[in-house]
Structure 1
Amino acid sequence: MDESEERFAVVVDKPRTEAVIAELEAEGVYDADRSVREFDEGSVSVPVTSIPESVEYIEVVRQVGEPRLRDLADHLRERGWTDEEIDLAPSSWAVLGTVVLVDVGDAPRPDEVGEALLALHGSADTVLSRGGISGAHREPDVTVLAGAGDTETVHREHGTVYAMDLAEVMFSPGNKAERARMGDVVAEGERVVDMFAGIGYFTLPMARAGAEVTAIERNPDSFRYLLENVQRNGVADRVQPYRADCRDVLARTDPATDVTADRVVMGYYEAHEYLDSALGALEPGGFVHMHEATPEGLVPDRPVGRLRDAAAERGRAVDVLDTRRVKGYSEGVAHVVVDARVD
């Protein structure tokens, strides 16, 4: 092997792979032309263009400079897929810690898609096929396509750490920008109610930004991870968690236990059904962020109208600050968020 074909890599603990790659990219030394590889049990080698100065690692090793198969199509083509079959392969997926989450759609031989995704993402050990979300507790339907089958993982995103079991709780990769944005809009010391906290999707970025968050979640599995994630992110002193129906928590009338807020987050597709509870807790001049799954032809009129009608019933006025399409929810239906000030 020609010495010039060798390159360096840093060895890191496998759970840190996502965070290390982000740090290497920030330093400008991540080598995207080579693959992350398994080094030994529990660690991987991450390719670098030069030895990093600001990133912690176990050791530096030489890594043969084989070019990375750049995308899923390359890996499937190597497995004998035709161009017509590759056209049916998924075009997007999410890497959440050590798990790849994908909707295989109409792709033939889903197990080969899973194996190809494992080859493409060396830090992952499990590929899950994503189905729908159902039930009052918003429970996911997933199937193991390839790998170890370990559905529990730790995902890092914009500095926030999320532990979860993807067979038990939902995690929407398409909401990434919205999660980060909520950490940007809150002020230190602001009182926030997160009515559908889940594992801490919005609670954690807001609490890390200094907000005082009342986090309400009724799914026991999600609540268990919410408690864990509050500890992992060091925000236990700023989060008051409740495992309950948010309407019950917000219906209290004892002044000693009343929950009031400067901001209410309603991260649920049918949030309009809970507007009376949200507005009852929101102080005059406070902000509400209402999520909804809305047919494209009714964006933004339907969610805005529902918010205005609910406020009018309480004699309150709404100033709509923004409406956003977060992502597609289903064919012809958008996931929309309405940001508003309510006087």
Structure 2
Amino acid sequence: MRARKVPADALAGCMDAEWVDRTRRPYVRDGTAWVPVREGYFADTDLPERETYRGRGYHLVGDIAVLHGDAPTDEELAAIVGQCRPRGVIRVRDFGGAMRIPDVEILYGTAGEVRHREQGYTFVLDPTRVMFAQGNRTEKARIAALVRPGEQVADMFAGIGYFSIPAARSGARVHAMEINPIAFEYLKRNITANHVRGRVTAEVGDCRGLLSGVYDRVLMGHFDAQSTLADALAHVRSGSVLHVHSIGDAEDAIRERVAEAGFAAAITSRRVKKYGPHAWHMVQDVTVS
């Protein structure tokens, strides 16, 4: 890998430079970052390619490796550290309650706040304090592609801005609602970091009491979204689209709620990612009429 050497604390500031190869991940060690360089630009060195990793699954949030499920063996943990050389490795045991607070075990190194880059967006967060839905990358990109400039969008479970920011960058006017005050503070910082302050109105509290007016699109990125469908349907019109997340197919229950609100619905169900044995994280695209 052709790379340039920069101080690790300067890494975030250089990632938008023209010479950076953003198809590859920087290598950070001992306070130094080796940043991949595009063809045609100067590089300090040519690092040897790493062998293909075939170990325990993980994902990187900033420079922290995040695991889910059972605790890794010592060998699995060592393989992860050797592969991605993270600042720390954490295991998320579960997410608690409506605020989706992570129950976290630090397995290696240190954890804390990170600056995570994904698909051209910046997310500042602490993965030990708030949820980060890394597995939803394709869904975030899909929402960004579906949104049209000028749409009025409600994001009922905004978190740190997973969907709000891509929607706003696509030209929507977004009403972002988040009940967790810690996640809400990161949401506000991420709105600023992604230069969408003029297109996102953020409010902290229960989304059921914050919905206002009529929306063209409603993002419902919580597995308990069905329980708030009646509230969402009070703020849509014929032609509005709701994106309702669930564990398993929820089409029949959604169709029933839509009918109770006086609408008909065209529903398309999509699998987002595997959630567990015989269970899928689903999203239902619901167009009301």
TM-score normalized by the length of structure 2 = 0.89
- Whether 1:311 aligns to 2:265 is no
Among all aligned residue pairs of Structure 1 and Structure 2, give the percentage whose two residues are the same amino acid.
33
| Cα shift readout 1:157-197 (whole Å, capped 9, x = no counterpart) | 11111111111111122111101111110000100000100
Partner of 2:98: 136
Flag the structure with larger Rg: 1
Rate the CA distance shift 1:47–1:286 in 2: closer, same or farther, 3 A: closer
- Whether 1:329 aligns to 2:252 is no
Matches within 5 A, 1:106-255: 107-109=72-74, 112-122=75-85, 124-147=86-109, 149-250=110-211
Amino acid paired to 2:62: G
Partner of 1:36: 27
- Whether 1:93 aligns to 2:58 is yes
Q: Which has the higher helix share?
A: 1
SS of the residue corresponding to residue 277 of structure 1 reads helix
Return the match for 1:279 from 223, 227, 233: 233
Partner of 2:213: 259
| Cα shift readout 1:279-311 (whole Å, capped 9, x = no counterpart) | 0011221111000112xxxx3xxx111121111
Work out whether residues 72 and 120 of structure 1, in 8 Å CA contact, stay in contact via their aligned partners in 2. no
Rate the CA distance shift 1:13–1:182 in 2: closer, same or farther, 3 A: farther
> Structure 2: which 5+ runs fail to align?
none
Length, aligned pairs only = 286
Work out whether residues 18 and 97 of structure 1, in 8 Å CA contact, stay in contact via their aligned partners in 2. no
SS of the residue corresponding to residue 182 of structure 1 reads helix
Measure, in 2, the Cα distance between the counterparts of 1:222 and 1:101: 18
Measure, in 1, the Cα distance between the counterparts of 2:223 and 2:112: 25
Moved more, 11-20 or 311-320: 11-20
Work out whether residues 22 and 36 of structure 2, in 8 Å CA contact, stay in contact via their aligned partners in 1. no
Rate the CA distance shift 1:117–1:23 in 2: closer, same or farther, 3 A: same
- Whether 1:290 aligns to 2:255 is no
- Whether 1:45 aligns to 2:34 is yes
Rate the CA distance shift 1:125–1:18 in 2: closer, same or farther, 3 A: farther
> Structure 1: which 5+ runs fail to align?
1-6, 54-59, 74-89, 251-257
C-alpha displacement of 1:113: 3.4
- Whether 1:341 aligns to 2:281 is no
SS of the residue corresponding to residue 214 of structure 1 reads strand
| Cα shift readout 1:307-330 (whole Å, capped 9, x = no counterpart) | 21111112211112x211101222
